[in-house]
A and B are shown apart, each in its own frame.
Chain A
């Protein structure tokens, strides 16, 4: 799992360990090196001391009492003096040398002066042993510092990530429908923008859920009305003895079923227009042809009601969009017009191609919509007062929604005869064809 805390701790502690080990090694190496240098220098000093003062006096004892081994040869190679037996082999190269002798590593300084070859040496490991004594105190603070720093890093990381833990716990506690924002105060500036973005999402989600909930509640409420009518009509049909009255009751029952079916169809149409159920696919639609199809499809419905339905003008015009949605829009406009226009009325459908827009116009000579109510009719389930025709109250909501999805604008006007003229202004298709 990609845990920030784990990653931070892993990297920081690894880096800390590496730095600690590196620093220790470097310290050790430097200490050892300078120690060695000091010792070598000592060897050299002793060798020169021998040259200057000879081997007499306290100095000799002092030299030999230590771990130093000294020899003096003459230029012929004859041994003049040796502090040890056996004699440490003479090094041919002048200066500092390291070599093996009697199973040990030795370091020796050899010089020629006043016809003598003087060599002073000591065990190489003698320096290491002395270094070992010193190195402990040198490395101890570093060794103590490492775990302390480690603990400090651990605590800092945990502390810094605590707000995230807190947010997680708060989210864990929530019910699925709790979408109240998380308080931003006291949050570090790195986390606050992320939480703010989450809060924004919560708000949008809340609105979407609310709107869905309202829609379901409204739909359930609206379904009750035709259901009530159906139930009552069925009961009346059941208890009516007279054949003619019974036939009438059954006819009403059937009308009720048609109405309930219509409402359900409309609810489904509206649900299909919900943004999330919309595919992004958009294609060129010949609006004039589509209008012709829709008029043809509604012709029998219009004839049954004695309404003169026709395509008044069909200028070739393409729009971009979802054919199903545009079809739903047209169906609803034409259906509405036929539904609310009294028998003997007239419904005209037109498609006009303009330079900047494509207009779809459905005009009737029905009762129209009073200007005061023109905004409200787009609300779901809004019905005009006194309308004898039981509609779903959804037609214009569907039209509005479908238009919005196509960047189109819906406007309501009067026709000269006092009827309703609905104009949907679509943006024209980007490419012809």
Chain B
């Protein structure tokens, strides 16, 4: 999943970015309110982490603008403003969660997972399609109970496809999900990762919908 990190402090931004990347998320990091608005309007993000005290445009203004555009993107506010009134104002302005600095990286990751799960309408944290299951918290994949070892990119690609089972994602959409701004994407990167996934999980598991994109289907004959 691709996240937008909106944080002006270079040290915190850097650490959160590294932490999120290590947890398998793709991260775009912007450092002020205007850049955040631009990114929100153009990029496709699964979730945004929003600091409130931002230069150029305050975080609350950014959030209100987002909700005025009827954008339902999940937003977690990460801020040092800990007063109850601030929390209430933040949540009422349309934030889905509110995390006060200094926060724990694990807690931030758990909240990100919880929000994306709720967003997808799932009750369980583990993604399942047939006998295939993926645990976003532990980054473990198993097929019919047998663990499967995947690279970080392969796992992110599978996670993107399993996020909404049956939904077809275009190659462009998959690229967006997997790569941040600053990353070079070779033209056939997605195909290479898909090829590897098919090799490890079986050829039937990822279907190509010709001219549209890809989707995950329950592997035939592996139904319990």
Residues of A at the B interface (CB closer than 8 Å) are 221, 224-233, 235-236, 239-240, 249, 252, 255-256, 259, 383-386, 388, 390
Contact = CB atoms under 8 A, between A and B. Distances in A.
18 contacts: A221-B80, A224-B102, A227-B101, A228-B80, A228-B103, A230-B102, A231-B102, A231-B104, A235-B105, A235-B106, A236-B15, A236-B18, A240-B22, A383-B55, A384-B55, A385-B32, A385-B55, A390-B9
The 10 A-B residue pairs with the shortest CB-CB distance in the complex, in nearest-first order: A385-B55, A232-B15, A229-B11, A228-B102, A224-B80, A228-B101, A235-B105, A227-B102, A224-B101, A229-B12
Interface in B172-220: none
B56 A390 contact: no
A386 B32 contact: yes
A308 B55 CA distance: 31
A253 to B, nearest CB: 9
Contacts of B8: 385
Contacts of A233: 11, 15
Nearest to A232: B15
Interface in B82-110: 101-106
A386 B19 contact: no
B77 to A, nearest CB: 14
B10 A225 contact: no
Nearest to A227: B102
A252 B14 contact: yes
A252 B19 CA distance: 13
B109 to A, nearest CB: 10
For the complex, would chain A's binding face be called helix, strand, loop or mixed by DSSP majority? Answer: helix
B137 to A, nearest CB: 13
Interface in B1-58: 8-12, 14-16, 18-19, 22, 31-32, 55-56
Contacts of A229: 9, 11-12, 15
Contacts of B117: none
Nearest to A253: B15
Interface of B: 8-12, 14-16, 18-19, 22, 31-32, 55-56, 80-81, 101-106
B12 A236 contact: no
B11 A221 contact: no
- Residue with the greatest number of chain B CB neighbours at <10 A, chosen from A232, A233, A259, A388: A232
Contacts of A224: 80, 101-102
A235 B55 contact: no
A221 B9 CA distance: 13
Which residue, A228, A230, A255, has most C-beta atoms of chain B within 10 A? A228
Nearest to A233: B15
A147 B81 CA distance: 70
A232 B31 contact: no
Contacts of A386: 31-32, 55
A285 B12 CA distance: 42
B72 to A, nearest CB: 28
A386 B32 CA distance: 8
B15 A239 contact: no
A240 B104 CA distance: 16
A383 B10 CA distance: 13
Most chain A CB atoms below 10 A, which of B15, B16, B80? B15
Contacts of B12: 225, 228-229, 232
Nearest to A229: B11
B200 to A, nearest CB: 22
Given A240-B22, A385-B55, A386-B55, A235 B104 contact: yes
Nearest to A259: B11
A256 B13 CA distance: 12
B89 to A, nearest CB: 16
A252 B18 CA distance: 12
Contacts of B19: 232, 235-236
A254 to B, nearest CB: 11
A256 to B, nearest CB: 6
Contacts of B31: 386
Specify which of A221, A230, A236, A240 lies most central, judged by the most chain B CB atoms within 10 Å of its CB.
A236
A214 to B, nearest CB: 14
A385 B22 CA distance: 28
